[in-house]
Structure 1
């Protein structure tokens, strides 16, 4: 059982900006390609930072508006510098937080959450830009077909990893929600099965009705 990697999900054809790309050209790149940010690279294609719609919008939000009743917030020095910027190197959020192609979906999602960012440029061993992965790309794992999720649970979790017979545990998957049934030899195996199944890409929730033959009673239903 393996998580999908960044290489599986990233966009390979990346729209780039250079240090000296002007404000208006960046806005045109975003509009023309239907994207919300562009990485800024140097002459060797190393990511230096990222310019997003939010970076560009600062130029509008920092302006005074006498007709508005909403007060303009006091800006920090770095915010004023960005609002006055005219080139990518002045507008970008830097340094660029990057991912590697071999990272799993879990690793990329954790970095995005920790750094509160929406996308990661993807670089190779020489730190050259090779792609970009976004939150939306990572969420594609939940678009997996139910039968693909079920096949992975049965084949990789139950049979290959836990060496269970096909008749031991039943698996139903609907809209990514997994229901497990059947019975196993010992009760300690039940939470292991649920934990491993939860880690399969595309699983939304787990409902377990797995009994164990070593005890007279059945385990209560659990939901994860």
Structure 2
């Protein structure tokens, strides 16, 4: 399975400000491009902070304070890397209560910006595409489960699984992998299983079966000897 990364979702042509960019110019950039924040970069193209709508409003309300990006920005900049998963980027946004992340390369230079709306693109994925990935990559490719064994239905990102897999442990694994597929909103798991392999139960069952066969064999042997004894009329000893 291949998950879409920040590199797949980000906007590569980022709108930026310099340290000396004035208050009104920053406000114009936010309005013109319909964005809520702008990264501030140094002379080497590395993000040193971010100026958001909230920063501008705070300065406007107070009526005093700095009026350039360097004084207005929140610093240091919280950044993302192109190899991050969408889930990781979303988690950072949630934890830091921000809507956009500058994306930097290995040298720390700005290469793009990823926003909440960019991440939401994952949930615009077609149901057919989600179904194909689950059947071909998750079931057949990763787990070796025959597509004929599991029925996969997808409706508006809601995945319903039905059918039978070999082992009980596979039920949870299939569920977990399906939830990790890009665009999946919910998984309804109705899978059944042929064999319960939890906590060594199969191993214990095998021992129980062997013990039962051995006990039965012992009884059969004793019964056979008793039958011969009955035919000779003696209590199990030769005449």
Equivalent-residue separation in structure 1 for 2:143 and 2:9 (angstroms): 28
Equivalent-residue separation in structure 1 for 2:95 and 2:176 (angstroms): 23
Give 1:138 deviation, angstroms.
1.0
Equivalent-residue separation in structure 2 for 1:174 and 1:61 (angstroms): 48
Q: Is the 8 Å Cα contact of residues 59 and 72 (structure 2) preserved in structure 1?
A: no
Give 1:180 deviation, angstroms.
0.5
Equivalent-residue separation in structure 2 for 1:204 and 1:129 (angstroms): 32
1:9 pairs with 2:2? no
Equivalent-residue separation in structure 1 for 2:134 and 2:151 (angstroms): 10
Give 1:34 deviation, angstroms.
1.3
Aligned residues: 196
The structure whose RCO (Cα within 8 Å, separation 6+) is larger is 1
Equivalent-residue separation in structure 1 for 2:169 and 2:34 (angstroms): 51
The within-5 A match list for 1:88-99 is: 88-99=69-80
The within-5 A match list for 1:16-55 is: 16-55=16-55
The runs of 5 or more residues in structure 2 that have no matched partner are: 197-239
Partner in structure 2 of residue 193 of structure 1: 174
Give 1:104 deviation, angstroms.
1.0
1:175 pairs with 2:162? no
Q: Deviations over 1:71-106 (max 9, x none)?
A: xxxxxxxxxxxx522000000011001111111112
Partner in structure 2 of residue 112 of structure 1: 93
Q: SS of the residue aligned with 1:209?
A: strand
Q: SS of the residue aligned with 1:181?
A: strand
Q: Is the 8 Å Cα contact of residues 17 and 38 (structure 2) preserved in structure 1?
A: yes
Give 1:214 deviation, angstroms.
2.8
Partner in structure 1 of residue 232 of structure 2: none
Match of residue 214, structure 1, among 178, 188, 195? 195
TM-score (norm 2): 0.79
Equivalent-residue separation in structure 1 for 2:100 and 2:29 (angstroms): 17
Q: Is the 8 Å Cα contact of residues 38 and 51 (structure 2) preserved in structure 1?
A: yes
Measured on the aligned residues, the alpha-carbon RMSD in Å equals 1.2
TM-score (norm 1): 0.84
Equivalent-residue separation in structure 2 for 1:30 and 1:194 (angstroms): 42
Q: SS of the residue aligned with 2:159?
A: strand
Equivalent-residue separation in structure 1 for 2:123 and 2:194 (angstroms): 34
Q: SS of the residue aligned with 1:210?
A: strand
Partner in structure 2 of residue 85 of structure 1: 66
Give 1:35 deviation, angstroms.
1.1
- Greater share of residues in helix: 2
Give 1:114 deviation, angstroms.
2.2
Q: Whose Rg is larger? A: 2
The runs of 5 or more residues in structure 1 that have no matched partner are: 64-82, 216-224
Give 1:115 deviation, angstroms.
2.0
